[in-house]
């Protein structure tokens, strides 16, 4: 990158020098001739240096001691306040999570689930799976008709039948039991205050509620607080008294305040209104699971990420193994060679994901084999750097036998160097669109993350196989990729994003932006992204991510290019060389990084 910049500057200086000498000798050069010459000079420069300019340097929020990056400024401020009051990173993350359930209802939740990756200052790491589970009455064919075809796809994405058993509340209490230092009551109270007293909508917050009004009316038979006759506007105050009451019960009764008693009765009653499957036993028996994180290396960095039933950690490390074989830093950011390589790697990794990865409590996931360097070297050996591989010719790799669009993410680092990366979701925006009557929280539509029918894509276009088939109590496959990066034994990055199937590739590119292309955290987050996921066979390209010549080159190689408005919505933290923290909060949303 630096060499290319030096060549470009040197070439520019030489051409400018000769141009000045030439023009100074032309006594009668007209203004029009000078204009023509300058335009020609610019064209010559651009042709000589076919190089996409890197993103503009920008520094994110920097602090000395602690940082929170989340999807909403009010939630981030609450997390900072918790740490200023002596709480650790996990305390702050719990408080932020509950706050997001109030101020970011399209994804923040108590009716969904997610994953957490934690690294403590002593270097120990752990991962918590609080993913939703299929109800006990769920069946493999529940969304199919008598002919084995999808009966009504909206059953898996809209309404009560689309909901899995929520894991978020149990997850927060599990995190607190192992790592919390402040009382759970004090961590939930800020969310109660926001729900009871109300908060002002941002422009984007009002916009997304307005776009979902018809779904709210269709799937709710009571006057939910998100419905009103006139459009919501920035600055409007929204009150959620029913949600406040539910949070009070959780505060006062602990985990049982959600999974038993009145709230559980309200949730089950909502199920009984039509096709919902969650029972009292499903709620009472839900348990989060502590798992061993996925870990690997990339260019002298240790990558710590989420294991199955998330596919994120495996896929991320496969992509990084494939990338490490190539000098992408020399090629450049978002140039045709780099985008082509990433796309070729991604189509193969997503094919493996569809075939092999599922809930490890139900299927044997060949984690070691998928992360074996020899396997991945062979897996990527047929990549041509001159032409695209049609996805129709790509299947899952042959390995030896074994001996979720709406999500939100938060990253936290505390003054002691403890770090937590949490990605949580309702799946689609506002999940199933069903707000539990009297309880005030949205139910997820995570059942769509199962493979309703092998080979048939879900709402994100992802194809699944039998490893991710529906079964009672099973956890659905996920793309969530909460990740922590260290170097030389020291914390370096905390990263993650929402985005459904694009989560993995957004985290992947953000790591490359920092490690290979030398970007800071905010710059890496701001950088436009691209995405391939095997099927559909296309590269999705964020607006203004690639110049037209690069798009032309990729199309000439056989790639299909599909424009999209945005990919990912990162919330990340980078430890700078001088020890300060830089937050990267995605400008595509209301994301905010705050600290002290």
Task: Provide φ and ψ at 280, rounded to 5°.
Answer: -60, -40
* Nearest Cα to Cα of residue 279 among 440, 534, 473, 412: 473
Alpha carbons 207 and 221: distance in angstroms, whole number: 23
Would you state the structure tokens that stand for residue 27, as one six-digit string? 């006594």
Angle at 66 between CA 65 and CA 70, to 5 degrees: 155
| Mode of pairing for the β-strands spanning 67-70 and 592-595 | antiparallel
Q: Which residue has the tokens 């689930």?
A: 113
- Of 62, 355, 407, 502, which is the active-site residue? 407
Report CA dihedral (504, 297, 113, 530) to the nearest 10 degrees: -10
CA distance 134 to 474: 5
Vertex 99, ends 97 and 105: CA angle to 5°?
Answer: 90
Q: Rounded to whole angstroms, how far apart are CA atoms 532 and 347?
A: 6
Distances from the Cα of 264 to the Cαs of 82, 252, 270, 435, in angstroms?
A: 29, 15, 10, 14
Positive or negative: CA dihedral 130, 136, 141, 143: negative
Contact predicate 15/41, CB 8 Å:
yes
First vs last Cα of the chain: how many Å apart? 34
* Nearest C-alpha neighbor of 294 from the set 308, 280, 276, 275: 308
* SS3 per residue for 187-205: HHHHHHHHHHHCEECCHHH
Does the active-site annotation cover 510?
Answer: no
Cα 318 from chain centroid?
Answer: 17
Which residue in 463, 455, 443 sits closest to 162, CA to CA? 443
Cα–chain center distance at 268: 30
Peptide bond into 470 cis (omega under 30): no
DSSP string of 291-325? EPPEEEEETTEEEEE--TTBSHHHHHHHHHHHHTT
As annotated, the active-site residues are 407
């Amino acid at each position: 990158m630096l060499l290319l910049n030096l060549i470009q500057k040197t070439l520019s200086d030489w051409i400018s020098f000769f141009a000045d000498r030439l023009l100074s000798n032309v006594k009668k050069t007209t203004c029009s001739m000078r204009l023509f010459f300058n335009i020609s000079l610019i064209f010559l420069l651009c042709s000589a240096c076919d190089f996409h300019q890197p993103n503009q340097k920008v520094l994110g929020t920097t602090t000395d001691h602690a940082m929170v990056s989340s999807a909403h400024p009010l939630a981030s401020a609450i997390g900072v306040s918790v740490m200023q009051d002596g709480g650790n990173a996990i305390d702050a993350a719990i408080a932020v999570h509950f706050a997001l359930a109030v101020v970011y209802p399209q994804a923040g939740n108590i009716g969904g689930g997610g994953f957490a990756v934690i690294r403590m200052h002593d270097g120990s790491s752990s991962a918590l799976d609080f993913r939703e589970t299929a109800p006990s009455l769920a069946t493999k064919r529940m969304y199919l008709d008598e002919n084995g075809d999808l009966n009504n796809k909206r059953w898996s994405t809209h309404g009560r039948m689309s909901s899995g058993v929520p894991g978020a509340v149990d997850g927060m209490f599990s995190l607190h039991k192992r790592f919390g230092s402040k009382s759970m009551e004090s961590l939930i109270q800020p969310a109660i205050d926001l729900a009871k007293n109300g908060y002002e909508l941002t422009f984007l917050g009002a916009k997304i509620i307005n776009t979902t009004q018809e779904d709210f009316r269709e799937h709710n038979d009571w006057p939910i607080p998100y419905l009103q006759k006139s459009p919501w506007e920035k600055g409007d105050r929204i009150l959620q008294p029913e949600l406040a009451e539910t949070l009070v019960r959780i505060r006062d009764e602990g985990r049982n305040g959600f999974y038993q008693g009145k709230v559980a009765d309200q949730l089950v009653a909502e199920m009984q209104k039509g096709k919902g499957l969650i029972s009292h036993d499903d709620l009472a028996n839900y348990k989060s699971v502590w798992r061993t994180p996925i870990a690997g290396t990339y260019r002298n960095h240790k990558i710590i990420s989420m294991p199955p039933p998330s596919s994120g950690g495996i896929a991320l490390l496969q992509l990084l193994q494939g990338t490490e074989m190539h000098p992408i830093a020399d090629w450049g950011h978002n140039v045709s060679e780099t985008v082509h390589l990433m796309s070729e790697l991604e189509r193969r990794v997503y094919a493996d994901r569809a075939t092999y990865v599922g809930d490890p409590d139900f299927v044997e996931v060949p984690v070691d084999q998928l992360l074996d360097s020899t396997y991945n070297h062979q897996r990527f050996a047929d990549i041509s750097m001159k032409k695209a591989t049609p996805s129709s010719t790509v299947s899952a790799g042959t390995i030896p036998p074994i001996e979720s669009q709406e999500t939100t993410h938060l990253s936290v680092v505390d003054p002691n160097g403890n770090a937590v990366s949490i990605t949580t979701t309702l799946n689609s925006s506002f999940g199933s669109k069903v707000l539990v009557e009297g309880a005030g929280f949205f139910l997820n539509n995570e059942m769509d993350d199962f493979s309703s029918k092998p080979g048939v894509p879900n709402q994100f276009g992802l194809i699944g196989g039998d490893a991710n088939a529906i079964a009672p109590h099973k956890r659905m496959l996920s793309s969530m990729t909460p990740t922590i990066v260290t170097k030389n034994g020291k914390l370096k990055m905390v990263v993650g994003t929402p985005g459904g199937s694009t989560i993995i590739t957004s985290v992947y590119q953000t790591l490359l932006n920092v490690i290979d292309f030398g970007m800071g955290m905010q710059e890496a987050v701001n950088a436009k992204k691209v995405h391939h996921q095997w099927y559909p066979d296309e590269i999705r390209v964020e607006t203004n991510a690639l110049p037209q010549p690069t798009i032309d080159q990729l199309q000439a190689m056989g790639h299909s290019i599909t424009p999209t408005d945005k990919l990912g919505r990162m919330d990340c933290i980078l430890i700078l060389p001088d020890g300060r923290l830089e937050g990267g909060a995605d400008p595509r949303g209301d994301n905010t990084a705050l600290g002290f």
